[in-house]
Amino acid sequence: MKLKLYLLLCLIIASCSGVKDRYIINGEISGIDNTKIYLLEYSNDEYQIIDTTNSVNGAFTFEGSLAIPARYYIVAKGVSSSISLFAENSKIDIKADGADISKAEIKGSSLQDEYQRLLSEIDTRFVNKIDSLNLIFKGAEKINDQAEMNNITNLVKSVEEQQKEFLISYFMEHNNSVISPNLLYKLRPWDFNDLAVLKSVYNNFDPSILDSPDAKVIKDWIGNLERIETGQPLLDFSMNDTIGRPISPSMFSGKYLLIDMWSSACPPCRKENPDMERLYKKYKNKGFEILGVSFDSDRDTWLSAIKHDGITWTQVSELTGWNNSVRDLYSIESLPTNFLIDRNGIIVAKNLRREKLEEKLVEIFD
């Protein structure tokens, strides 16, 4: 009798352990028949296939084990959208319409529930306000009410700053949840491209989530930003100019050099060019140079923009668009971006726009 009871307890424990230590994703996509279903993870800027199965009348199952909960994506062959979810070792049920599987109903993942609550709160407190302000801005723009446009712009910036502070607080408080590095990774190029903030948040993460793909990317990103901080030496490279000559920033040693990343298809970049040309003419004889690094892919479009904007400083490009070597070297996520290098090849300032650039040049040369 005791032996039977012992065996029964072992079976119960084993069964519970199996559920606890594994995920079982049961999915059902209406409107599709038998097709390939892929379970993917996004890591190091690319999707990696974790598992593959075949659906039967739209139904499919994935099983596995996770040391750390992960953000997974489910893709059905021939379907354009995808299902994203936070997977953990639990039983997860998914129901989706084949017309748009991104709107799937997901049950069984506590992390997914938490993520949806967070997104809903962000929408309610910030996104909806910004959308409303943008509508008011468009109305003011139609009647050219510059005062109201400036007012709305300042209000939007205020709400965006409040949203950033809210998210930082969330990341710090939920430092053991993989939601934090995942969302921080998504937002870092726009809202969190600040080394001090990134380091503060990352250093507060619980060791249990540091091996997650997103936390690893953030660690690498911090390392990249440290290499381009003010006080660091310039990162040299070589690109061909408009007539095919190789040009490097180090060739401008002994002068103040503004390395300006731009593109002909970037309106803010083009808007900056007239002011930069004015400052270049004013200070070039005093030891100021500009090296324009274009993120264009079409040579004729690039050259046409240079001519149209009256650019007279040195221009280089690999003509590979965003797939160029300088993007990774200088961790470029948006345009325009610039770096001011001093006579000794040290980065002394970053992202100087219009008045800020002029103020800095006055400080140096006047």
Over 108-168, what HEC string results?
Answer: CCHHHHHHHHHHHHHHHHHHHHHHHHHHHHHHHHHCCCHHHHHHHHHHHHHHHHHHHHHHH
pLDDT score recorded for residue 28: 96
Q: How far apart are CA 149 and CA 139, in angstroms?
A: 9
- Which are the contacts of 319, defined by CB distance < 8 A and separation ≥ 6? 294, 296, 297, 298, 299, 302
Helix axes 110-122, 179-187, angle to 10 degrees: 40
18-108 and 239-365 share one fold = no
Query: CB–CB of 281/363 below 8 Å?
Result: no
Closest CA to 289 of 305, 317, 312, 322: 312
Q: Which CATH number fits domain 18-108: 3.90.930.12, 3.40.50.300, 2.60.40.1120, 2.60.120.1440?
A: 2.60.40.1120
Query: How far is residue 353's CA from residue 153's CA, in Å, rounded to a whole number?
Result: 17
Low-confidence ranges of the chain (pLDDT < 70): 1-20, 189-193
Domain 239-365 has CATH 3.40.30.10: yes
pTM, whole model, 2 decimals?
0.78
How would you classify the pairing of strands 256-262 and 314-317? unpaired
For residues 22 and 66, give the distance between their C-alpha atoms in angstroms, rounded to a whole number.
7
Query: Could you state, in order of their start, the residue ranges of all structural domains in the chain?
Result: 18-108, 111-227, 239-365
Whole-angstrom distance, CA of residue 102 vs CA of residue 76 = 11
List CB contacts of 4: < 8 A, sequence separation 6 or more: none
Phi, psi for 59 (deg, rounded to 5): -95, 145
d(C-alpha 272, C-alpha 251), whole Å: 24
